[in-house]
Structure 1
Amino acid sequence: MSDPKPDVPVDPTALDHTPAPAPTGPSTATTLVAEALGTFLLVIGVIGTALFAANFGASPEGTSLGVGFLGVSFAVGLAVMAGAYAFGPISGGHFNPAVTLGLAAAGRFPWSGVLGYIVAQVIGGVVATSALVLIGLFGPDGWLGAKQDAGFASNGYGPASPGGFGLGAAIVVEVLFTAIFVTVILGVTHRTRGNAGLAGLVIGLTLTLIHLATIPIDNTSVNPARSIATAIYGGGEALAQLWVFIVFPLLGGVIAGLVYRALFDGQRKA
């Protein structure tokens, strides 16, 4: 007769054949916070550069110390890159109501989530410009008032355009260049043809290019959250013209989403 086997502790999980729960993504609250933070980073980067550094002045030797349009263009591109890699994995990295609407129109984002994202983006942008106002309160005498009187880096046309371009030019710019921007995003983030590793870099450089081309025309919006955030402190004419920089970037984003979906995401017929 063989010796009895010693008692072996039984792992209760070994007898449990219930499938492990599927990993869940970030909560809705987490994604909205990420969108707000990413938009905050974008707005504080580009508007901070425009207000503090674009026309800083000259050295005693007469060399300009300001970064100008070129610096502002690179600031927005760098801010978007940083936000895309920091917060993109959490929320998708829209940071722009026109992008959110464009992705929804392309079938890449649920329509049920659009309103929450847009609210978060607007809040993030307004907090950013509010932080810049707070800094300005401790600046040189008259600095903040002068920046607000000049529009606080808001978008504009006619007298508010850096180059004196009219309403028609602003409409074309915002529809066309927002559509280009959203099309690039849809292409570089495509589930089979895109390149997730380079997406942030490509998107940031595209936004830099757009600003290089269009800052002289209307100070470049292509992002209603950015436009709202500056107009509330630019006041007067900036608020009166704000509708253009809400309506037409959104229109450009939707057009890009619908066209991209029809041309590149349609089902191939047998």
Structure 2
Amino acid sequence: MTRKLIAEVIGTAILVLFGCGSAVIAGPDIGFTGISLAFGLAIVAAAYGLGAISGAHLNPAVSFGMVSAGRMSVAEAIQYSIAQIAGAILGAALLYMIASGKPGFALGEWGLGSNGYGPGYLGEYTLGAALIFEAVMTFLFVTVILGATGTGAAPGFAGLAIGLTLAAIHLVGINVTGVSVNPARSIGPAIFAGGAALAQLWVFIAAPLVGGLVAGALYKAGMTRAA
């Protein structure tokens, strides 16, 4: 378990450093498409580099989706989630140290790629839109993960399928919430940004967890009927 938890720390740090880093450091140059690809490629890298050790969940919504799918215990999911949050904080800390080395750097109200909604945040979508987007997209994301890693899935392609799905979700939704679908990914940057990012953090914990749990429960029900 220790090896698995270390892998989850490293993998989640990679996700935050690559994904949020692309927005903070290179955002004006690469745009939403580039940021979307950075998040997707980070997942591909972590999945193939660390997946054999821990499964590369990198996301409490995925771990608890595995619980509701009957593929993980609650105790394991809690340990994974703690490791993932620690990794996200590590990734955000490294990103802050790098980004703050540029003259004139300012953290801002939603700094380090924090998720948010409402007036002042990207497309200024409402709370309701943010909740629906995060719950639905996490549901779809976890559904893909469960299918790509389940019995009968094409071997060797899970990391690519999962990474491309995350990239597609970002292409659709960066303007809505910045795209979380991952409580750990949201917690790391919000801790450093504070303010509105921290006040709105509950949305990016609750909605993804609901989406992941529902995806796991439906997947389990489907597999049970198929059996």
Q: Considering the TM-score relative to the shorter chain, is it more than 0.5?
A: yes
Counterpart residue number, 2:25: 52
| Contact in 2 for aligned 1:148/1:235 (Cα 8 Å) | no
Counterpart residue number, 2:87: 124
More helix by share: 2
Rounded Cα–Cα distance in structure 2 between residues aligned with 1:162 and 1:46: 17
Counterpart residue number, 1:37: 10
1:176-187 map, 5 Å: 176-187=136-147
Rounded Cα–Cα distance in structure 1 between residues aligned with 2:210 and 2:53: 26
Q: Per-residue CA shift, 1:5-30, capped at 9, x if unaligned? A: xxxxxxxxxxxxxxxxxxxxxxx100
| Contact in 2 for aligned 1:107/1:261 (Cα 8 Å) | yes
- Secondary structure of 1:107 counterpart: coil
* 1:266 lines up with 2:217 in the alignment: no
* 1:244 lines up with 2:206 in the alignment: no
Offset, 1:91: 0.2
Rounded Cα–Cα distance in structure 2 between residues aligned with 1:171 and 1:30: 34
Residue 33 (structure 2) aligned to one of 70, 88, 98: 70
Residue 216 (structure 1) aligned to one of 167, 175, 193: 175
What amino acid is the match of 2:164? Answer: L
Q: Per-residue CA shift, 1:32-72, capped at 9, x if unaligned? A: 000111101111000110000011xxxxxxxxxx1010000
| Contact in 1 for aligned 2:23/2:35 (Cα 8 Å) | yes
Inter-CA distance 158–202: structure 2 relative to 1 (3 Å threshold): same
Rounded Cα–Cα distance in structure 1 between residues aligned with 2:50 and 2:37: 20
Which has the higher Rg, Structure 1 or Structure 2?
A: 1
Residue 93 (structure 1) aligned to one of 48, 52, 56: 56
| Contact in 2 for aligned 1:148/1:233 (Cα 8 Å) | no
Residue 189 (structure 1) aligned to one of 133, 149, 166: 149
Offset, 1:111: 1.9
CA-atom RMSD in angstroms: 1.2
Residue 225 (structure 1) aligned to one of 184, 189, 200: 184
Unaligned runs of 5+ in 1: 1-27, 56-65
Offset, 1:161: 3.0
Rounded Cα–Cα distance in structure 2 between residues aligned with 1:200 and 1:160: 35
Offset, 1:136: 2.6
Rounded Cα–Cα distance in structure 2 between residues aligned with 1:78 and 1:243: 27
- Secondary structure of 2:119 counterpart: helix
Equivalent pairs: percent with the same residue? 47
What amino acid is the match of 1:159? Answer: P
Structure of greater relative contact order (alpha carbons < 8 Å, 6+ residues apart): 2
* 1:203 lines up with 2:166 in the alignment: no
Rounded Cα–Cα distance in structure 1 between residues aligned with 2:220 and 2:120: 36
What amino acid is the match of 1:43? Answer: V
What amino acid is the match of 2:71? Answer: R
Residue 148 (structure 1) aligned to one of 108, 131, 136: 108
- Secondary structure of 1:85 counterpart: helix
| Contact in 2 for aligned 1:153/1:234 (Cα 8 Å) | no
Q: Per-residue CA shift, 1:234-261, capped at 9, x if unaligned? A: 2101110000000110000000000111
The two structures have a TM-score, normalised by structure 1, of: 0.82
| Contact in 1 for aligned 2:95/2:112 (Cα 8 Å) | no
What amino acid is the match of 1:134? Answer: M
Rounded Cα–Cα distance in structure 1 between residues aligned with 2:75 and 2:137: 26
Offset, 1:267: 4.5
Inter-CA distance 266–130: structure 2 relative to 1 (3 Å threshold): same
Unaligned runs of 5+ in 2: none
